[in-house]
Structure 1
């Protein structure tokens, strides 16, 4: 196991640019570095002489978490009186406030820490557990099912939360938790009725040369729900052009542009669908 302090991260990050380099993981880059390049914090009064952003420092460490031998950080305080964990934003307590209330604590192995996938949503996060294995995970699956979670193998869900499991090595487990946030129906699609079942979790608009296009992402929607939605689309004036494909002419998109709107549904997972659309202005 590698011991990591801030100047080492800075040195390696400056040498590599952050993340995997030439196909090598963060651990391999550290292993191959010249001994004289591994400068320890005791030789510095400050780390600010290295112009490295917080985001890149955090990225290198987070990349290493997916390695079979993740870099390990020390708990003593560094520059400014902050521990490395605090500096990188890595938390070591079980993130109960951001998980489903019925999600049990994983009690096997050793929890290394957790972090979010992005600062914009603290409910989308991952937890790293070491010294655990498939047998432990199977026991945890039983606990989830006893508490009302549904799913199998590496994916479970309950209400607005979903959980995914993956082993980054034989004894290192990554638990990811996501919270689905439903969006309001977009005003740009006033001519298109919302479905009665399912949740709109994302909506995108992109500009092409002569058209607008994008996607609507739905969760908690079965194929039967999509077929029921078809009836609403037909009642609103859409024409069925193929299986789960539809079009409508002479509509107002974004309350300004007029033209033809077409799109089709494609399954993303068991209960997730994407509606790809295209709007051609007259």
Structure 2
């Protein structure tokens, strides 16, 4: 009987230790969670205060300061914003689930959205939105507005023409050497469907260029010399870049 009683006491002590251990773990987890929440809240306040030094003092959605093409963020609280017409920053107290709702709404409005887990982004025409969480509940929306491009007719070969559809974002002409033997031209467009790109390239084929809807070639005259020219489209985040390579022929 004494032996059985001793075993019973040991079992009770073991159970008591398990209960105390579980309670201690739960208490520690609760304190850690509270500490994490407090730290996150303090970081939000510190980040917001720091940005006030950069002219960010607009509370609520910055209507009239950003393009009307950007729908207001309807979840959480817009706590601050500021910037220029080209670059504007908006701070929102929200969470990832609410951000996903906003991104879905952008897609319904025909924005091109990249659903990256940490750094999602969206584009419409010459407007880009970049999203990131500076803390658990502080979302930073960075708005970038790109100046619309103009077709540099005086600097382009006459046989290379602009697409009739879409929105021209810009044209970059790079001199690849000092002798004028090689040029690279990037023609950036938004608002072109794949069919539009196909039709654009096939127009060149109808004019005597070799190739197909993926790439076209031709020897053309430009700047008093003959060049081997090629045009190839590349797709990037809802935009299309037509890469033009020009190699001077001997």
Using the size of structure 2 for normalisation, the TM-score is 0.62
Measured against aligned partners, the alpha-carbon deviations of 1:61-114 in whole angstroms (never above 9, x if no partner) come to xxxxxx989645469xxxxxxxx63xx344535432243325343352342333
Label 1:182 to 1:74 Cα distance change in 2 as closer, same or farther (>3 A): closer
Alignment of 1:231 with 2:202, yes or no, is yes
Task: Say if 2:127 and 2:145, in contact at 8 Å, map to a contact too.
Answer: yes
Using the size of structure 1 for normalisation, the TM-score is 0.56
Label 1:265 to 1:158 Cα distance change in 2 as closer, same or farther (>3 A): closer
**Aligned-pair CA distance for 1:133:** 0.5
Label 1:143 to 1:224 Cα distance change in 2 as closer, same or farther (>3 A): closer
Secondary structure at the aligned position of 1:195 is classed as: coil
Label 1:272 to 1:133 Cα distance change in 2 as closer, same or farther (>3 A): same
Secondary structure at the aligned position of 1:233 is classed as: helix
1:17-32 to 2 correspondence within 5 Å? none
- What is aligned with 2:176? 208
Task: Say if 1:200 and 1:218, in contact at 8 Å, map to a contact too.
Answer: yes
Aligned with residue 218 of structure 1, among 175, 180, 189: 189
- Structure 1's unaligned 5+ residue stretches are 1-66, 76-83, 117-121
Aligned with residue 165 of structure 1, among 128, 131, 134: 131
Label 1:237 to 1:180 Cα distance change in 2 as closer, same or farther (>3 A): farther
Name the Cα RMSD after superposition. 3.4
1:117-266 to 2 correspondence within 5 Å? 122-129=85-92, 131-141=93-103, 148=109, 150-151=111-112, 153=115, 154-156=120-122, 161-179=127-145, 181-187=147-153, 188-209=156-177, 210-240=181-211, 244-252=214-222, 255=223, 257-266=225-234
Secondary structure at the aligned position of 1:100 is classed as: coil
- What is aligned with 1:267? 235
Structure-2 separation of matches of 1:264 and 1:244: 6
- Structure 2's unaligned 5+ residue stretches are 1-42
Measured against aligned partners, the alpha-carbon deviations of 1:190-215 in whole angstroms (never above 9, x if no partner) come to 21122122222121122223312131
Task: Say if 1:155 and 1:165, in contact at 8 Å, map to a contact too.
Answer: yes
Structure-2 separation of matches of 1:170 and 1:74: 18
Structure-1 separation of matches of 2:191 and 2:134: 28
Question: How many residues are treated as equivalent by the alignment?
Answer: 195
Label 1:280 to 1:182 Cα distance change in 2 as closer, same or farther (>3 A): same
- What is aligned with 1:112? 80
Task: Say if 1:133 and 1:170, in contact at 8 Å, map to a contact too.
Answer: yes
Task: Say if 1:264 and 1:276, in contact at 8 Å, map to a contact too.
Answer: yes
- What is aligned with 1:281? 248
Structure-2 separation of matches of 1:232 and 1:171: 51
